[in-house]
Amino acid sequence: MCGIVGYIGKRQAYPIIIKGLQRLEYRGYDSAGIALINAKGDLNVFKRKGKVTELIEFSKDLEKEGTIGIGHTRWATHGEPNDVNSHPHYSQTKNLVLIHNGIIENYSSIKEGLIKRGHQFLSQTDTEVLAHLIEDIQIHEKCKLSVAVIAALNQVIGAYAIVVMDKNDPDVLVAAKKGSPMVIGIGDDDYFIASDASPIVEYTKNVVYLEEEEVAILRRGEKLKIKNLKDKEITPYVQKLTIELESIEKGGYAHFMLKEIYEQPRSVLDSMRGRLNPAKGEIKLGGVEDHIKKFEKAKRIIFVACGTSWHAGLVAEYLFEELARIPVEVEYASEFRYRNPIIYAEDIVIAISQSGETADTLAAIAMAKSKGATVLGICNVVGSSIARATDGGSYTHAGPEIGVASTKAFTAQVTVLTLMALEMAKVRGTLSESRFRQLLYEVEAVPTKIEEVLKLNDKLKEIAYTYKDSTNALYLGRGVSFPVALEGALKLKEISYIHAEGYPAAEMKHGPIALIDEEMPVFVIATKGANYEKVVSNIQEVKARKGKIIAVVTSGDKEVKELADICIEIPETDELLVPLIAVVPLQLLSYHIAVMRGCNVDQPRNLAKSVTVE
Ligand code: G6P
C-alpha cells in the first residue's frame, strides 16, 4: 500500500527513483510524485494523478537534475487521488518534503494544533500533517532534521514508513518505519531506500531491513546511522539480498500475472524442494521443527489471513481436519482481531500471507500472541514483518509476486500447507504409513500436472472469448474444491470487473440459482472424488435452468462431459490435492477475459498488492 523510494549518492536520482516506483507500482497506482534537490540547491517537486508513466510524461521537459531525491506511488487512504493529495508533501515553509506509506491515526488533532499556530494545509492527507509537524519541531527546537523526526514520531499514533528530505541540508535523507516495510540498500558510495527490495536489487545486494520504530539517517559520505525513538543508536544488521533481477521482470510475458501463472510448476516445486522425500516417507519443514511437540498436543488450529491467502486457509481446513484430525477454524484477520475471540494457549494460530505485511494479519498475530497461543507464519516474502512477528513457520519460496491478483502465491501456500498437514498427521499418528507415502508421491507429482494444465492455454483463451462479455458468473465447488470456486470468482472479479460469486455447489439452491439463465456462465469444479455424483446433480440443476456449464473435470471424464457446455480436463490427482491443479485453468480464464476486456491485469483499479492499512 503505497510504494516509496529514496536515493542519495553520486548518480542521478531521477532515473533510479522512477524505475523503483515502477517496480513498486503494484503497491498502489492512483498517483505518483517525486522530489529532487539539484546541485544549485533547488528543490523540485513533480506530482501527478495516475500511474508512474503519467508522471514521466508530465516531467518530460522539466529539469530533473539531482543526486538526492524521494519518490512515491500512492494508494489513497485520506483524500481522493489527485495532484494535490499526491506525495511528496511539503512542510509549511516548503523546505521539507516527505513521503509516507501508512496511516497517521491522530493526524486531525495534530493538524488542529498546527493550524492554531498558523500552519496552512494544501491537501486532505494525514501525511502533510507529519511534514508540517517535523518542520515545526525543527524550527522551534533549532534541531537537526533527524532529531525533529524522532520527536515528531513520538507524537504520532498509527503506521508509517516515511522518508524526509530537507532543502537546507541536501546531504541527508531521514527514513523511519513502524508497521509499514522499509529496506535500505547500501551501495559503494550511495544509499537506496524502498518499500521492498525490488528497486534496490539492481544496484546492491547489501540491505538493512528497518525494524519497528527505527529511524535511519543516510548522510552522504558517512556510515548508515540507525536510532530508535528514544534516540538510542542501534547497530545496523546488514543482510544479503537473495532475489535476482530477472525474478522481478516480465521475462517476455505480456503481463506479470501471466508470467506468474506459468511459473507455478517451478514455484510449487520450490515450495516443496528439500522438504519432501516420498521414498523415505519423510517431510521436513525446518521452521516448524521446534514446534513439533505442540503439533502433537494442539487442540485446535486457527488460520488467519486475508484475500487469496484466506482461501488457501480454507483449503487447509479440509487438509488438516482430514489428515491430522484436528479441529480447524479459518478467520478473516480483519474480523478476528476485533472480535475478542477465544484463544487457548494450546491453540496453534497460523497466519498466511504472501507479502507478510498485511496490517490486519499482523494485528491478528499480535492478538493471538498476547493470549499465549503459538503463532506460525506462512509467508512468501523473506524477512517480512509477519515472518519476523511469528514464533516459527515456513516460507513459500514462490519468488516475487508482482501481479496484484495472487496466483503462484496461492498454489505455493497450499503446497506448504499440505506438507504441514501431512507432517502434523504423522506426528499425531492419524494416517497409515501407506496413505502417508502415497500422498507424498502425489504431492511430488503436482508440478508436472500443472505443466499439463498450462498446455490448455489456447483452449482456455477460446473459452474466455465466449464469455468475455458476461456481466455475472458463478463458481461452484464442493469439499476442498469449494475454496477453489471462491478463488476462481475472486480472480475474475478483481481483474475483469465482472461480478462473480463462489459458492458451495449444494448451497446454490438457497439463493444463487435465482440468477441462472442462458446468459450466466457457471464454472463448476467437478473432478472425480467423493462428491462427484453430488456435483453432477448440481450441474443438472443448473442445466434445467438453461445455465451455461463450464466444468473442470478429471481427464477421461464421461458423465459431466455429456452435460456440460464445455469441459476442461485436468490430470487426475488425489482428491485432497485437486485445488493445486484445478485453480490453474480458472486463473488463466480470468487472465484472458480481463485482457480481452481491455483491463489492466497487473494493476486492477482500486486494488493494491500489499494492504498495509487496516
Ligand atoms: C490484497 C492482494 C491480494 C492478497 C491479499 C492478502 O488484497 O491484492 O492478492 O491475497 O491482499 O495479502 P497477503 O500478502 O497477506 O497474502
Q: What would the pLDDT profile of 523-554 be if each residue is shown by its tens digit?
A: 999 999 999 999 999 999 999 999 999 999 99
Distance (angstroms) between ligand 1 centre and the Cα of 353 equals 7
pLDDT of residue 201: 94
Amino acid 513: pLDDT: 87
User: pLDDT for 560-608, tens place per residue?
Assistant: 999 999 999 999 999 999 999 999 999 999 999 999 999 999 988 888 8
**354: CA distance to ligand 1 center in Å?**
7
**pLDDT tens digits for range 239-273:** 998 888 878 888 889 999 999 999 999 999 999 99
- Ligand 1, atom 2, lies closest to the CA of 609
CB 66 within 8 A of CB 114: no
Burial class (CB in 10 A: 0-12, 13-18, 19+), 306: buried
* Residue 396 · residue 415 · CB < 8 Å: yes
Confidence of residue 612 (pLDDT cuts 50, 70, 90): confident
Report the C-alpha gap between 585 and 251 in whole angstroms: 21
Indicate the burial class of 12 (C-beta count within 10 angstroms; 0-12, 13-18, 19 or more): middle
Mutate to test the pocket of ligand 1, among 357, 607, 611, 613 (most ligand atoms within 8 A of CB): 611
- Locus of grid cell 505455493: 412
What Å distances lie between residue 245 and 309, 447, 454, 518, 551, CA to CA?
A: 26, 24, 25, 48, 39
353 Cβ below 6 A of ligand 1: yes
- Distance of alpha carbon 400 from alpha carbon 68, whole angstroms: 28
Backbone angles phi, psi at 320, to 5 degrees: -70, -40
pLDDT(34) > 90: yes
Q: Which atom of ligand 1 is nearest to the CA of 608?
A: 8
Nearest atom of ligand 1 to the alpha carbon of 406: 9
Q: Is the CB–ligand 1 distance for residue 381 below 6 Å?
A: no
pLDDT in tens, 195-213: 999 999 999 999 999 999 9
> Is 90 exceeded by the pLDDT of residue 227?
yes
How many angstroms separate the most distant Cα atoms in the chain? 81
Q: Is the pLDDT of residue 1 over 80?
A: no
In the chain, pLDDT over 90 holds for what percent of residues? Answer: 85
Pocket test for ligand 1, best of 261, 331, 610 (most atoms within 8 A of CB): 610
| Confidence band of 321 (pLDDT split at 50, 70, 90) | very high
Ligand 1 proximity of 311 Cβ (cutoff 6 Å): no
pLDDT of 383 higher than 90: no
The pairing of strands 472-477 and 521-526 is parallel
Query: Identity (one letter) of the amino acid at 563?
Result: L
Query: Which three three-digit cell numbers place residue 541?
Result: 440443476
Segment 104-114 shows an average pLDDT of: 95
CA separation for the pair 435, 440 (Å, rounded): 9
If you measure from the C-alpha of residue 518 to the centroid of ligand 1, how many angstroms do you get, rounded to a whole number?
34
DSSP symbols for 519-533: T-EEEEEE-SSTTHH
DSSP 350-381: EEEESSS--HHHHHHHHHHHHTT-EEEEEESS
Is the beta carbon of 382 within 6 A of some atom in ligand 1?
no
Atom of ligand 1 nearest to the CA of 306: 6
Q: What is the pLDDT of residue 247?
A: 80
Segment among 289-303, 311-325, 592-606 with least mean pLDDT: 289-303
Tell me the average pLDDT across 164-187. Answer: 96
Cα(308) to centroid(ligand 1), Å: 6
What's the whole-number mean pLDDT along residues 397-406?
93
Find the distance separating the first CA and the last CA of the chain, reported in whole Å: 11
Q: Is the distance from the beta carbon of residue 380 to the nearest atom of ligand 1 less than 6 Å?
A: no
**Mean pLDDT across the chain:** 94
Tell me which residues are annotated as active site.
2, 609
**Atom 5 (ligand 1) nearest CA:** 307
**Measured distance CA(172)–CA(219) in Å, rounded:** 4
The closest residue, in CA terms, to atom 15 on ligand 1 is 353
594 φ, ψ to 5°? -65, -40
Query: What residues pair up with 477 in beta bridges, in sequence order?
Result: 504
E strand or H helix that includes residue 228: strand 225-228
Q: Give 184 Cα–ligand 1 centroid separation in angstroms.
A: 24
Best probe residue, ligand 1, of 29, 308, 350 (max atoms within 8 Å of C-beta): 308
Of 5-14, 33-42, 185-194, 280-289, the range with the lowest mean pLDDT is: 280-289
pLDDT one-digit tens code per residue, 435-481: 999 999 999 999 999 999 999 999 999 999 999 999 999 999 999 99
* Most ligand 1 atoms within 8 A of CB, residue of 1, 257, 609, 614 to mutate: 609
Mean of pLDDT values over 20-40:
93
